[in-house]
Amino acid sequence: MNISELLKELEEEENRSSRKGKVDYKLLFFKYLKKWKWFASGLLIALIAAFLITYFSTPQYEIKATLLLKDKEKGADFNSNAVVNNLTGFSSTTTVENEAEIFKSESLMIKACQELGITNGYFVPNGLFRWKEIYGPEVPVEINIIEKNPFPPKVKDNTVVIKILSEEQFEIQIPNAPKVKADFGESLTNFFGTFTVEKNPEYFPQFLHHENEIKVGFYDPVGVGKDFAENLKVEIVNKLSSVIELVLYNSHPERGKIVLDKLIEIYNQEADNEKNSTALNTLNFIDEQLIDLTAELADIERKAERFKLNNAITDVSAEAQLFLNSTTANRQQISELSVQIGVLESIEQYIMSSGNEFGMVPSTLSIQDPTLADLITNFNSIQREKERMLRTTQPNNPIVTNLNEQLIGLRKNILENIRNIKQGLVISRNSLMETSGEFQTRASRVPTIERELLEISRQQEIKQEHYLLLTRKREEAALTLAATSISNSKVIDPPTPTDYPVKPKKVLIFGIWTILGLIFPYGLIYIKDILSEKIEFKSDIQHITATKILGEVSRNNTNEGTLVIGNGKKSLLAEQFRFIRTNMITELQRKTNQVIMVTSGISGEGKTFFSVNLAASLGLIGKKVAVLELDLRRPALLSSLGIESDVGISEYLENNTYKLEDIIHPLEQMENVSVLGCGTTPENPAELMISDKLHDMINRLAKKYDYVIIDTAPVGLVSDSFVLADHADLTIFMVRLNHSTKSQIKTIEDIRANKKFKKPMIVLNDATMELTYGYGKKYAGGYYHAK
């Protein structure tokens, strides 16, 4: 392989890869346009389905309300109560997100339905197989539940049909039971329980004259509440505000409005109950705590009282100071008494000492006793008188003797008085010492007493603080409970239903089903195309192989037989063969004496039809052409031309008595064209195909004719084409749309890539104008016409 051929092959591969990523929308349009019946059927079915859905769907009205919720973070505190909000622990704190979720809860809606007593639905006929719900004053009769079944069974049909016969009597049809005639007010029983049917005097006469049949559904309020909750939407209008929008969808606008009103009312009640329940629970809890706390506080106070009584104290600190002062005073008094006792003992010793019987007695300045002072003063005075007289008289002088006797008496009195005073002082000192000991003992116990009393006081203070706290909280709870209750929400727009149903949205339903009616056939066709192995379009071939496409041939819908090209013929098929002829001559570089092999993947792809008309087109420009019927297993060339011949190629190859000229048949209807038929179908076609005589015959014909066209067997079934490949200057593979398979194209690509055949080309057979050229039938029919 030279460089130029390699570059050319690489360019073809690149072009092929680029074509794979492109979408031919015009091709797709015409492709699906062929299946217009599929789309028409799908669209018809979709429109019927849309009609049935809109016809049997229950019309739904939209009931809308707008509320402003309390949210301090977003500045919405419209129910602010300064007294209550300032109470610690009782201020109301809510967020719009939490309150929106509360509105969505099933329990809130169930409670609303239970309070409204929604246990029955009433319906009147509204067209064929359709019922319309009525509510309130529109209902001619009313179901009164006397006794409800506590565990009603689940049934498929929970309705009864009432047919009014007269003003006093009606007929009722209960599922799985025969029809029964009954009077208004008569007790009846079904799965739900025992009930009566009563007349609505406001609407009954009007209903009696226009309609006489009504269907009544028995519902559990819990189930009804869940249904209402599913049809409720809660939306936060703005992230910066606390405004929410409640949207309820219901089959009857008046009932939906009442339910939404009740829902808002119950929401506010629940909010108030929550606040009140908190205050009530707090009050009850505080009262219980206060009872126990009061008893504990009284026990601690009695314990403190007993402790003070037992320890004879009132104020420990004051008494401790008192003990300290008393001890100091006692010590001082004891010291003073000791001094006085010492003085008295000194005087006593002095007086009793020998030689001092008549000496002067020292004075006792520290002894404040007037008797002793007088005695000592008299003793010292007499002693001085005696001494004075002894200077002038003798000791035995009666006066001196008298004075001695007086001194002896005074001395005795002094000693006795000193002993008495000393004894008194000792007793006082001992008493003070005992008292001081008691003071010291008491003072030493003060820290222990103080510590024990501090523990008792601490418990008392804790209980006292707890008591005061509970008392304050009780007052706050009482204020909260007594405060005026304001709702947790403020209605901006009350519940308002729409004038017309918003569901089902007929335009949307018809639009969606119309789209589905078109998408579904498209999907089926698309899946069919994906699963299909058939070649439908030229692009299918281009995505698989880089083999050149020589041209396209349309389906032969004429009555002209096999030959569709001739002098003066300007039909579409004739022009297509002329186009292929031009492309082929160009590929062969206008060389003559060329061998052209026509084959296919399987039988039935039109190679014989193509071979004959290609030869005829070449004959029209003055080229001598020989057509060989070398499909020795299933020959069809001569029969398609209406030629009968018992001698053909098989006889020429097997019997040497025949000459080449014996099997050549010039065709009168095709100028310059000769055909060589197969003859009798041989028993050994494979052996004949590899015979030297066959190859010699082809070489001789190639020299004699400008073009030799070989109609050979399908390449995908037998090996005949591979045997003849060396003789062919150009190989044409017939590919019939919607007949040939993708695996056949892969075989052609393998042949091209591995250069098994010379100049492999493809011709599309059974192509249409829309899918091949992009022309419409109207345009093509106006341009091409048969002559």
604-648: pLDDT as tens digits: 888 888 888 888 889 889 899 999 888 877 787 777 777 777 788
Percentage of the chain exceeding pLDDT 70:
79
Question: In terms of pLDDT, which residue wins out, 178 or 257?
Answer: 257
User: What is the DSSP code (8-state) at residue 108?
Assistant: H
pLDDT recorded at residue 781: 47
pLDDT recorded at residue 497: 92
- The residue-averaged pLDDT of 340-360 equals 68
Question: In terms of pLDDT, which residue wins out, 103 or 24?
Answer: 103
Q: Cβ distance 224 to 252 under 8 Å?
A: no
Confidence band (pLDDT; 50, 70, 90) for 364? low
- Nearest Cα to 359, choosing from 368, 350, 349? 350
Beta bridge partners of 598: 711, 732
Which of the residue ranges 192-201, 237-246, 323-332, 372-381 would you say has the lowest mean pLDDT? Answer: 323-332
pLDDT at 670 over 90: no
pLDDT at 314 over 90: no
pLDDT recorded at residue 64: 93
523-527: list long-range contacts, CB under 8 Å, 24+ apart.
524/38, 525/32, 525/35, 525/38
pLDDT at 776 over 50: no
Q: Cβ distance 193 to 147 under 8 Å?
A: yes
pLDDT recorded at residue 49: 92
Question: In terms of pLDDT, which residue wins out, 713 or 91?
Answer: 713
pLDDT recorded at residue 349: 72
Confidence band (pLDDT; 50, 70, 90) for 773? very low
pLDDT recorded at residue 176: 78
- How far apart CA 314 and CA 748 sit, in angstroms, is 124
Which 3 state secondary structure label does DSSP give 348? helix
Confidence band (pLDDT; 50, 70, 90) for 766? confident
- CA distances (Å), origin 649, targets 580, 660, 725, 785: 28, 9, 18, 38
pLDDT at 661 over 70: yes
pLDDT recorded at residue 436: 65
Which 3 state secondary structure label does DSSP give 565? coil
Residue pLDDT, tens place only, 301-313: 777 777 767 766 6
pLDDT at 278 over 80: no
- The residue-averaged pLDDT of 346-374 equals 66
R_g over Cα of the chain: 67
Q: Cβ distance 516 to 120 under 8 Å?
A: no
**13's tokens:** 């591969």
Confidence band (pLDDT; 50, 70, 90) for 323? low
pTM greater than 0.75 (yes/no): no
Confidence band (pLDDT; 50, 70, 90) for 347? confident
Question: In terms of pLDDT, which residue wins out, 78 or 273?
Answer: 273
In degrees, rounded to 5, the angle at the alpha carbon of residue 743 between the alpha carbons of residues 738 and 745 is 75
Residues 6+ apart with CB under 8 A from 99: 69, 71, 244, 488, 489
pLDDT recorded at residue 48: 93
Q: Is the peptide bond before 504 cis (omega within 30 degrees of 0)?
A: yes
- Nearest Cα to 361, choosing from 432, 370, 375? 375
**Highest-confidence segment of 471-480, 618-627, 761-770:** 618-627
Residues 6+ apart with CB under 8 A from 533: 741, 742, 743
pLDDT at 101 over 70: yes
pLDDT recorded at residue 485: 54
pLDDT recorded at residue 513: 92
Residue pLDDT, tens place only, 122-133: 888 888 888 888
- How far apart CA 726 and CA 689 sit, in angstroms, is 12
Mean pLDDT of all residues belonging to the chain: 78
**Highest-confidence segment of 112-126, 210-224, 682-696:** 112-126
- How far apart CA 723 and CA 180 sit, in angstroms, is 94
Beta bridge partners of 732: 598, 761
pLDDT recorded at residue 643: 79
User: What is the DSSP code (8-state) at residue 616?
Assistant: H
Quickly list DSSP for 662-707: GGEEE-SSSTTEEEE---SPPS-HHHHHT-HHHHHHHHHHHHHSSE
pLDDT at 270 over 50: yes
**320's tokens:** 């401790």
pLDDT recorded at residue 777: 47
pLDDT recorded at residue 478: 74
Percentage of the chain exceeding pLDDT 90:
8
